[in-house]
Structure 1
């Protein structure tokens, strides 16, 4: 029976200690309720303060998360001190410091992506809606979060990219400007007049409504002596989105082809010239009917 008495005595002590802590538990609950209200008030003030600002939504979400972490972190620390009087803020911070080192080693990649996400959110050069390319990933930025970013490829597939990849590797922002330069190669036969062909191509490109001509010139340069043609490098500016580039290239190629045909200027097929060192005998093959 002795073990039973010991167990009963321990249960009584636990119950007595729990009853004695009821006031402290009540105060801790009140503190947590107050923290909940302070958190909502802080978010209300924050939202009102940023109503008329041009701050990006992703940055607003970041600041909102930081406010929540700060308010609840402080509130939980106060509640812990109230509930366990032996604790002090200094001891709690010391414990958090030691624990954070262990957690940091265990979740190195998570924290790396978190810090990279914060830096990316403050970038002005990459925004939601931009078309980017990074590490063979190309598409539209649809969402930037703390740990990852969402890239919608042109074929509709969604790629979730860890922020550390976008931070460590070069990122090509294709829509940083509203316009982008496009180049195609157009060849004309060697028998044609180069200057006349250049004028025809220039006039044809200038008639395309997808070509921006306000402050960006159309440039046409004779590029090289190719195997079967004189090749022109035809360059113009159009919208920076991928669909804008494809539409403009389609229109320019079709218009230039039509203009060269109307002007009687040949766009040659590949030619092959065969040279023999000596005479080549030619033998006529009789027709089967003969």
Structure 2
């Protein structure tokens, strides 16, 4: 009996060893990877252009006393501009981005200037402007940023030459001047990769901006002598623009993959 038990034990041991040898090696399971996360932190530059509307609340006042001579009326105009700028963004969590920026604009956004008492009219041109501000954005997608912005702005308005209602020059003008103010706006910035273009670092942004400049009182001057003609015009300026710009982000080399 003892011999039988020993024999059975030996057979069972050999069978178990053979079964273990027949099993394949334990498969390797790779640790899971986090989804790609875009990183918006870094410097960028941009350039583009667009169109704008200009509006101004105007009234004619007495040059000597400043007494209003007409009721206030709103005049407007339109035009085009180009823009260049730079900025820095900081992505402070998975969906929010904050930044600072500065830019300059150049072009021709014209607005009508009128003196209904003398029945003369002219065109005043917003020639250059600049802005410095902050923006706050929310990531609609890892490579699409929707944002609002605001800040300080300055502008240069060119000389206005007056004509009569028939378009004949009357020999009077308003000098060009500088004005400061503020702006608010917003837009969308997205990687060009969403259009199937493989272009790491290149983005496109479309932005609306509304800028308000302080009122200015100007003497109507005689051409050649700069002597006052008799009245002055007081006007503020409100400019609305829409632009599209090409953006290059220096830090963007594609999505950053977080590893476990």
Query: Is the structural similarity TM-score above 0.5?
Result: no
- How does the TM-score come out when normalised to structure 2? 0.24
Considering fraction of residues, name the structure with more strand.
2
| Larger Rg, first or second structure (1 or 2) | 1
Q: Structure 1 length normalisation: TM-score?
A: 0.22
